[in-house]
Structure 1
Amino acid sequence: MKATVGLLALATVLATGCGPARRGVPFGPPLQLTERQQRGQVLFMRECNGCHPGAAGGLGPGIANKPLPGFAMRTQIRKGVGAMPAFTEQMLSDEEVDAIVDYLNALQETPGPL
């Protein structure tokens, strides 16, 4: 009986202690963003990050892992999709939307786990 309890305790410790050592650490080099992509990052953090934190899933779905053509991303931003609100030209200019799309494209091109 003691051996069974000991094995269960050991299994629990091993199962919970086996998370990745690199949690929260990027797998690849830091993003090298153009000036426009940096502006897109700032706009994304201000307008989009609340629902798509780090372009991953949150209140909204993850978007960095869904390669869409630029026109589709622009349409989603302008028209809204599902619970996502539409962002009018008064809220974001066309140049700002393009900067966000460029930033998202840069995220999609970053290297994944080795």
Structure 2
Amino acid sequence: MEQSEGQCPVELTVSLIGGKWKLLILYQLDNHGTKRFNELRRIFPDITQRTLTRQLRELESDGLVDRKIFTEIPPKVEYSLSETGRSLVPILLQLKDWGISYREQDRLRVRDELK
């Protein structure tokens, strides 16, 4: 991805990990380690093959995911977090914790509204 020196850091970060699938892919690779393409398809049954391919290519191009090709028949490709991708893990965990907290607050709000 081409980056502008004056680009807002938040805008840059969102451009790298934004969208419905990228954060989820990074989170799964952190939690479950190296995965093959079809394993990721099983984890995310709602993603199309084209979208998963595009998201993985972008993550690889941006240096967040490593792609390892094995020269065997049939061809085997594995995806894992790169060193740069692993540096996002604390942020992913904070997002997870925030989601848990938000979900709990929302439950409390709904329960209070029902009273």
Q: TM-score, normalised by structure 1?
A: 0.30
**1 or 2, which has the higher strand percentage?**
2
Question: Whose radius of gyration is greater, 1 or 2?
Answer: 1
Q: TM-score, normalised by structure 2?
A: 0.30
